[in-house]
Every structure is written in C-alpha cells, then in structure tokens.
Amino acid sequence: MTQDGFPLLQTSLRLTTMDDSLIDVQVDGLAGPTHHFGGLSAGNLASQAHAGLRSHPRAAALQGLAKMRFVMRLGVPQAWLPPLLRPDITWLRRCGFSGTDAAVMAAASHEPHLLKIATSSAFMWSANCATIIPSSDSSDGRCHIIMANLQAMSHRASEGEQRAAQWRALCAQVPSITVHDPLPLVSALGDEGAANHSRVVSDGNVTHIFVYGRQANAPGTTRLPARQTREASTAVARCGGLPDSSFMTVQQAPEAIDAGAFHNDVVMVGCGSRLLIHARAWVDQAQAITRLRERHPSLRVAEISDDELSLNEAVTSYLFNSQLVQTNKGLLLIAPTHAQQGRAGAIIQRLCDQGFLHQAHFFDLQESMANGGGPACLRLRVPLTRETCTQLPVGFFLDDQRANAIESIITHYYREQLGSADLIDPAFLADCHAVQQALTALWTT
Ligand code: SUG
C-alpha cells in the first residue's frame, strides 16, 4: 500500500510494447451519470444536432466499458479514469447560488445554461485530458503530463484543474512523472490536449506533431471555433522538455474545422510509424509529410483523398477518430459503427487488404458519438516504462474483476434515460454522489 491508500501494481501485466522501453497504456475516461446532450460545443456538429434530446447515461458508460474490455483482452494495458464529480455544486455556488445542494440545483434550473455546464460529463473524452511527453523523449528524462486547460468551451474549462488533482494522487508514488497544471486559462493559450497531438516513432527517431487551429492575436480564418492555439502547442512542448528538433507544429486546415473537425483527431490518427489522414487535414500538408519522411523514412501514410471521402463524410463517419492499437499481429483499428458501411467502410476494407491494418473492429458508441466523441476521443495514450507501470496503483488498470465491479455500479446507479427535469431531482443528486464514492474507491483499492 502507498501513503495515499493506493495498492501498488505487483501483478505482471501482459504488456504490448511500442518499442523496447515504452508501454503504450490506453487510459479511457468513464462517462458519468450526468451524461447529457447539452448542445454545449459550438463547432461540434454532433453536439449541436443532438442538443436537448434525452440521453442514456447507463448505455454511455456501458458502451465505453465494452470498448475498454475489448482492448484489455487483446493484452494491451487498459487503464481508466473515474468520472469527475458532477453536478459541480462548488462551481454553481461560485455563480452565486446558495443553500443546500438541492436548493442550489433548484435555483440553478432557472439558469439552464449554467446548469448544463455544471452537469456536463465531457471529461469522459480523455484524449482532451492532457498531452503526454514520455520519459524517453524529454530532455530531463522524466515523463511529463501536461493537463489541458480546455478553455475554449465553458463546460470543459474546469476539467483541467480537477483532472490534475486526480493524476497527482495517482502518480504520488511515481518519482519519474511530473504532472503539470493546465496552461493559464486565457484565449491565447487554448489547449485541447492529445486530441491535437501525435507521436511518430520510427527509424530511431521520435517526432511529436502538434496541430493548432489558430494563432493568438491573429485574424481568425475559420467560421467555426478553432480551439487550439499555436502558442499553446509550443508552450506544451516547452513544459514537456521537448528538444526543438523533436517536434513540429502544423496548422489544421480551416476548411476541416469548418466542416466540423473541431479537433485534429477528427481528420487524422497515427500510431508508431503509420498515419491515417484526410488529404485536406492540414495547411501545407504535402510539405509537412515530406518533413516527417526526412526523419522517418519508413513512415507509412494512408492519405485519403477528397474523392474517396469528403471532409463532410469524414466528420459524419468519424473514420479518422478510430483508435489504432498495436498488437503482436499488427495494427488494429477500433472504429465506430458509423464507419462500417459506405465509403468509410470501403476504405477500411482496402487498408486491411493492403496490409496497412491487420484488422478492424467496430463498436457501437452511439451515446458518445452523439456528442462528437468517437473511440479515439475516449482514450488517452500514455507511453510508460515497465517500471513506472509497476509503481502506479493497481486500481488504475482494468482487469476482468474491476471491469465487473464498474459494471455493477453503472447498472445499479446510472439512469437509463436522462432529461432536463431529472437534473434537479434530489434523488439524482444523491445517486451521483454515491457513484463518485463507489468508483473512486474502486480506483484507489
Ligand atoms: O469537446 N463534446 C466534446 C467532444 C470531445 C471529443 N474529443 C476529441 N475529439 N478528442 C467537445 O466538443 C459535447 C457536450 C454537450 O454538448 O453536451 C462535448 O463537449
């Protein structure tokens, strides 16, 4: 046991390694019991399209858990993050609501937008939680976890501090990890975490790609919001101790953002030495890929042309928001069912036939997808050394027993359906607290 009450991981994980020294741990965020369709994310077309519809929190959490179980059974280390406490009564009190918790919720119902912010379950998309610079890549040999400030969207702006507290507790006994506070919460430093970051590894080189949508203090080039700034990307690289030679910044194509690709991971996914990318994802894309090839001669890029799949189809199918997982047999694509049919499905089949992919698996993640979150949004990749993995609490990692326990909590407490009237039901508030306690206990025991 550690001082924080976390038992250490002593069992030997079946580890699939990216290279000899690092293990790519997949860390998924679990949907919370307040999962709802608030229509809170401008520029995220799915969020806008589903605003106000009844949500299904139990299904949201179970769908995410099914994906985690699948990855775990591949022998890939799968870890999880419990939900943040929502409704965020502390945040509502800072807005001037007072009285008992139930009174705060009842009063806040007269300000429905604030109530939606305070009950958002958007933390479930852990790709936005942080950017990870592994110990092998940083100049000080430490693993850096730089929490994202998510300042662009009001309902996500408090996640950074709260997730930082969780990661600090988690890593308390791991001397080689530094957890950084989110960048200052200002528009010039909009940071959305790993959704706009990718790590290419091959030919003895590592290159971190940071994709930004706008530059601070420069005229906007998009109709829909561009969340990540160039200045935030370079600040994250600095915090992570990346030498100048091992990272590059690339601008996301304004037309991709305006088609609904509010993060780069809606038009690109990479793993090791492979990139799957839409041909209109970046500004000066050909030049950027040439630069990458200079450092990574064996890089394989599957660039999907507009003729094969338009940007609009990329956004509706979420093909590029699939999760790529390295297994002993090859690269596995974990895709949303939305990408199974039609032109996206044909592209996946072609990539399997050509050996770019070993296999594809499709998951029904409808509740997350309806808010603009596909398989890749739900996971944060954390490359760790074997030693670091053994220093982390055992409760962080998923095994069958822990997955079963999480599932029982979900089935017991999460509502099948949720509408706006349910949010102010005192019994609902009590259930949310019970979930938080039960899941956190599981995470720390
Ligand atoms: O930030 N949706 C999230 C989806 C995040 C997807 N993540 C990645 N692409 N990595 C967002 O827009 C919608 C919430 C609502 O409308 O209730 C939302 O926050």
The protein residue with its alpha carbon nearest to ligand 1, atom 11, reads 41
CA quadruple 335, 341, 342, 348: dihedral, nearest 10: 40
Lookup: tokens for 410: 């979900």
Say if ligand 1 is within 6 A of residue 38 CB. yes
User: Per-residue pLDDT averaged across 306-327, rounded?
Assistant: 97
Of 114, 123, 125, the residue with max ligand 1 atoms within 8 A of its CB, to mutate for a pocket test, comes to 125
At 16, the pLDDT band (50, 70, 90 cuts) reads: very low
- Tell me what pLDDT residue 9 has: 39
Write the DSSP string, 157-219.
Answer: TTHHHHHHHHHHHHTTT-TTEEEEPPPPSSGGG---GGGGEEEEEETTEEEEEEEESB-TTS-
Say if ligand 1 is within 6 A of residue 118 CB. no
- Tell me what pLDDT residue 17 has: 39
Q: Which atom of ligand 1 is nearest to the CA of 38?
A: 17
User: Per-residue pLDDT averaged across 313-329, rounded?
Assistant: 96
- Tell me what pLDDT residue 217 has: 92
> Do 402 and 445 contact (CB within 8 A), yes or no?
no
Say if ligand 1 is within 6 A of residue 41 CB. yes
Q: Please give the C-alpha separations between residue 232 and each of 42, 60, 214, 236, in angstroms, as whole numbers.
A: 20, 31, 10, 6
Of 294, 300, 309, which Cα lies nearest the Cα of 346?
A: 309
The residue from 129, 171, 377, 389 that is catalytic is: 377
Q: Is 221 left (phi over 0), alpha (psi -120 to 50) or beta?
A: alpha
Q: Is the pLDDT of residue 7 over 60?
A: no
Give per-residue pLDDT as tens, 343-388.
999 999 999 999 999 999 999 999 999 999 999 999 999 999 999 9
- 192 catalytic? Reply is yes
Give per-residue pLDDT as tens, 263-283.
999 999 999 999 999 999 999
Amino acid symbol at 383: P
Q: Could you tell me the domains of the chain?
A: 13-86+121-444 (3.75.10.20)
Say if ligand 1 is within 6 A of residue 268 CB. no
Say if ligand 1 is within 6 A of residue 40 CB. yes
- 263 catalytic? Reply is yes
Distance CA 399, CA 68 (A): 10
- 95 catalytic? Reply is no
Distance CA 97, CA 87 (A): 13
